[in-house]
């Protein structure tokens, strides 16, 4: 496809997806960056690049990519959630992470994973009662979406008050 249509960013993103599936992060990043060079305003390309960079443990670069994706499309809930995950798990910045999880929830009130992640951030901040509300919401939504392993959510929820 690239030979026939070298200016098609979608082909480069699809190639990057194949590399991601094969856990070939270097080539995935390269393909996503090629897509960005063709379509510099495509928020999806920046988001995919952010994910590959995060998987490669390039935290600062992943943050930049996700910020650009959000700048291009502030309503992209996945980028909001994923940026929150980087701040929470990669940088240990729970308060910053929480703002992105809440942003993802505001955009998509049915985003099960964002509720779960907001609960994790609140738990890290020591706000256990508020965390419990988000975990409960994640469990309720998960009955429909089946995005999470319910035992993980229950374990975190019960762990809030068993100290």
Query: Helix 77-85 vs helix 43-55: angle between axes, to the nearest 10 degrees?
Result: 20
The answer, yes or no, to whether residue 120 has pLDDT greater than 70, is: yes
d(CA 92, CA 20): 25
- The terminus-to-terminus CA distance of the chain in angstroms comes to 57
Q: How far apart are CA 36 and CA 12, in angstroms?
A: 9
What lies within 8 Å, CB to CB, of 159 at 6+ separation is none
pTM for the full predicted model: 0.90
Helices vs strands, H then E, count in the chain: 9, 0
Q: Please give the average per-residue pLDDT across 36-56, as a whole number.
A: 97
Overall average pLDDT of the 10-15 stretch: 95
Share of the chain above pLDDT 90, in %: 87
Percent of residues, the chain, with pLDDT higher than 70: 98
pLDDT at 80 > cutoff 90:
yes
DSSP state of 87: I
């Amino acid at each position: 496809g690239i030979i026939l249509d070298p200016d098609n960013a979608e082909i480069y993103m699809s190639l990057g997806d194949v590399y991601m599936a094969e856990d070939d992060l270097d080539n995935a990043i390269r393909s996503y960056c090629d897509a960005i060079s063709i379509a510099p305003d495509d928020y999806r390309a920046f988001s995919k690049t952010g994910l590959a960079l995060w998987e490669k443990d390039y935290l600062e670069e992943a943050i930049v990519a996700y910020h650009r994706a959000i700048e291009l499309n502030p309503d992209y809930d996945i980028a909001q959630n994923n940026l929150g995950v980087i701040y929470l798990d990669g940088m240990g910045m729970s308060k910053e992470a929480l703002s992105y999880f809440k942003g993802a929830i505001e955009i998509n009130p049915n985003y099960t994973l964002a509720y779960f992640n907001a609960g994790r951030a609140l738990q890290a901040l020591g706000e256990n009662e508020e965390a419990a509300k988000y975990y409960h919401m994640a469990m309720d939504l998960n009955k429909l979406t089946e995005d999470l392993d319910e035992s993980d959510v229950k374990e975190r929820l019960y762990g809030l008050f068993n100290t």
